[in-house]
Amino acid sequence: MATTQARSGDDQHHPFLEQLGPLAAQAEIFLYSVKIICGKQTETNCCCVAGARPGIYGTEVNIQNLNFKPAPVTKLFLPLVNAGAVVGREPSFSDPLAPQTAYFARTQEHLTLPVLGATMDDCCRITELLLGAPPSGETGLTIGLLTIGSPLELSVCAVYTANALSGDGISIDVAYISPRRLGPGELR
């Protein structure tokens, strides 16, 4: 009698990589992991502030194709704090392959950047992906990781801004994100 065996997670081909098409099976993949922090963290008497001190935060991620051919790009956002609700604190985690993870289909995108083309993701776009519609009004704190993958090396940087709830002062920081290279044998 034949039986169906469940495949382990290591044997699954990840849908994130499938979005890169046939190039994913032939070339190395460049992966970028960008920390995202957006929205307002209000004053609280709780001893456990959800990942940030009270303030207003923004992140903008710039992606540019500095190659002389179009670059397929796949993006996936994994929330750890979603509109103030902590969803990825130990022992929990953000798992895009879990059957109950409805946000995976919404927070994954595929595009092709033209030669020397650029695009950006910001807090409005991240919130739209998570909620399924454009945001309106003030949003609660959202923290997560934006994973960007391409068979071509890209230029990726993040611009972080923060200011106090009182409106006094502003902080801005720019971080250039280095890729992690995965070879064909590591893509399974």
Q: How many residues does the chain have?
A: 188
Entry pTM = 0.82
Per-residue pLDDT at 2 = 40
Per-residue pLDDT at 161 = 96
Per-residue pLDDT at 129 = 84
Burial 133-170 (b: 16+ CB within 10 A, else e): eebeeebbbbbbbbbbbbbbebebbbebbbeeeeeeee
Per-residue pLDDT at 46 = 57
Distance CA 127, CA 104 (A): 14
SS3 labels along 85-128: EECCCCCCCCCCCCCCCCHHHHCEEEEEECCCCEEEEEHHHHHH
> Are the beta carbons of 121 and 142 closer than 8 angstroms?
no
Walking along the chain (188 residues) 10 residues at a time, the average pLDDT comes out as: 40 58 70 94 65 88 97 91 78 65 69 97 90 80 93 97 89 96 70
Residue type, 174: V
Domain-wise residue ranges, the chain: 29-182
Distance CA 155, CA 177 (A): 8
Strand partners, 82: 85
Per-residue pLDDT at 185 = 64
SS3 state of residue 34: strand
